[in-house]
């Protein structure tokens, strides 16, 4: 038996229960991993609340972790006991001391990175990679708008977009977060509850608008984000921390010939080669210093409910990590 966080009913942070669970032995093509660090993401909140549907109840949340291989399924090559590995995405279940994973879903963690940084950056970092390099390819001279610029993904988007040669505009909720966003390479920071971000973006871009908006906020920013785009601009919605955006008639995109996409990391890392290339680029950028990972908050795994409460009340910035 190992300890894990389980959800028996959907709801607030209080539904996260610390319990004994049986995880068994790895089958063919699987490994067992003792988690050393578990990443916390807004995605986990969506599953806990039922915005995203888990396959069944009860379930163990979490889709990001790094740890040590403790057992290898029969006939498996390429992985051995003692390897340090990380994963992001499916299967869900990382809020546990140990878990069984498909061997083809994990990636090796370089010694220069280590488990806490790996668990805090692999999901958010791969999200930033596919958003900036594949969903819309950011190039020198582009202007990008990043909402929640001091958050886990937002921080990485700002740093990476800056390194790619873009002008970065970020929105944040407080002066403290504005300072963090500036440190992460934001050229212009907008405190959205003090000023109208659409008007400010218009002013910053001399009325031209931005090439792309990266919006994980959803309902509260969606229409404003569309208004910030230049002709043929890309609206990339990859989350909804404020709720699902209202339906939009297709004709609303026509006046500026806009592109609208709701991408998922799983579709962009559908093959093993895509996964390895994406993770490899993230870890290389961490090792080289292009990406500075801010692990600003760590909690014992047993206190996952407090981590969720703090994340939802916007008390956190950068990455949040649970330590089993």
Pair 122, 63: CB distance under 8 Å: no
Average pLDDT for 31-35: 98
pLDDT in tens, 84-101: 999 999 999 999 999 999
CA 278, 179, 239 angle in degrees (round to 5)?
Answer: 45
Q: 12: how many CB neighbours lie within 10 A of its CB?
A: 13
- In sequence order, which residues have a C-beta less than 8 Å from that of residue 156 and are 6 or more positions away? 121, 124, 125, 127, 128, 291, 293
pTM over 0.75: yes
- In sequence order, which residues have a C-beta less than 8 Å from that of residue 101 and are 6 or more positions away? 30, 31, 32, 33, 87, 91
Average pLDDT for 294-301: 92
Among candidate residues 112, 114, 87, the one with its CA nearest the CA of residue 32: 87
User: Given this model, what pLDDT does residue 136 score?
Assistant: 97
**Coil, strand or helix: which one is 67?**
strand
pLDDT in tens, 100-131: 999 999 999 999 998 999 999 999 999 999 99
Pair 66, 109: CB distance under 8 Å: yes
Tokens 């708008």, located at residue: 145
Computed over every residue of the chain, the mean pLDDT equals 95
Average pLDDT for 44-51: 95
Among candidate residues 56, 59, 264, 238, the one with its CA nearest the CA of residue 152: 238
Helix (H) or strand (E) holding 215: strand 210-215
User: Given this model, what pLDDT does residue 37 score?
Assistant: 98
DSSP string, 146-158: ESSTTSHHHHHHH
The b-or-e profile of 193-206 (16+ CB within 10 A means b, else e) is eeeebbebbbebbe
pLDDT-derived band of residue 198, with 50, 70 and 90 as boundaries?
very high
pLDDT in tens, 255-287: 999 999 999 999 999 999 999 999 999 999 999
Q: Could you tell me the two tokens for 247?
A: 């339906």
Tokens 């009325």, located at residue: 207
pLDDT-derived band of residue 316, with 50, 70 and 90 as boundaries?
confident
The domains found in the chain, sorted by start residue, are 2-121+279-323 (3.90.180.10), 139-262 (3.40.50.720)
């Amino acid at each position: 038996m190992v300890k894990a966080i389980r959800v028996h009913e959907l709801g607030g942070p209080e539904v996260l229960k610390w319990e004994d669970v049986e995880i068994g032995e790895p089958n063919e093509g699987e490994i067992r991993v003792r988690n050393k660090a578990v990443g916390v993401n807004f995605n986990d909140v969506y599953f806990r609340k039922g915005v995203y549907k888990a396959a069944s109840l009860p379930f163990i949340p979490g889709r990001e972790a790094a740890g040590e291989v403790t057992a290898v399924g029969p006939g498996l090559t390429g992985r051995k006991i003692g390897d340090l590995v990380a994963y992001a995405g499916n299967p869900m279940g990382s809020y546990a001391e140990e878990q069984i994973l498909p061997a083809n879903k994990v990636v090796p963690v370089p010694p220069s990175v280590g488990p806490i940084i790996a668990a805090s950056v692999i999901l958010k970092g791969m999200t930033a990679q596919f958003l900036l390099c594949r969903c819309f390819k950011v190039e020198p001279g582009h202007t990008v708008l990043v909402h929640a610029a001091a958050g886990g993904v937002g921080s990485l988007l700002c740093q990476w977009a800056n390194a790619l040669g873009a002008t970065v505009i970020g929105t944040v909720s407080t002066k403290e977060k504005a300072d963090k966003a500036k440190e992460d390479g934001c050229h212009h920071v907008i405190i959205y509850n003090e000023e109208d971000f659409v008007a400010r973006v218009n002013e910053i871009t001399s009325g031209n608008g931005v090439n792309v908006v990266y919006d994980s906020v959803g309902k509260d920013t969606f229409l404003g984000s569309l208004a910030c785009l230049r002709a043929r601009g890309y609206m990339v919605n990859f989350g909804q921390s404020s709720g699902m955006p209202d339906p939009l008639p297709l004709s609303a995109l026509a006046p500026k010939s806009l592109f609208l996409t709701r991408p998922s990391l799983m579709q962009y890392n559908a093959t093993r080669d895509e996964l390895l290339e994406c993770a490899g680029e993230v870890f290389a950028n961490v090792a080289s210093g292009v990406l500075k990972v801010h692990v600003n908050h760590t909690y014992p795994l047993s206190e996952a409910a407090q981590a969720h409460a703090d994340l939802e009340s916007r008390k956190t910035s950068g990455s949040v990590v649970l330590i089993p």
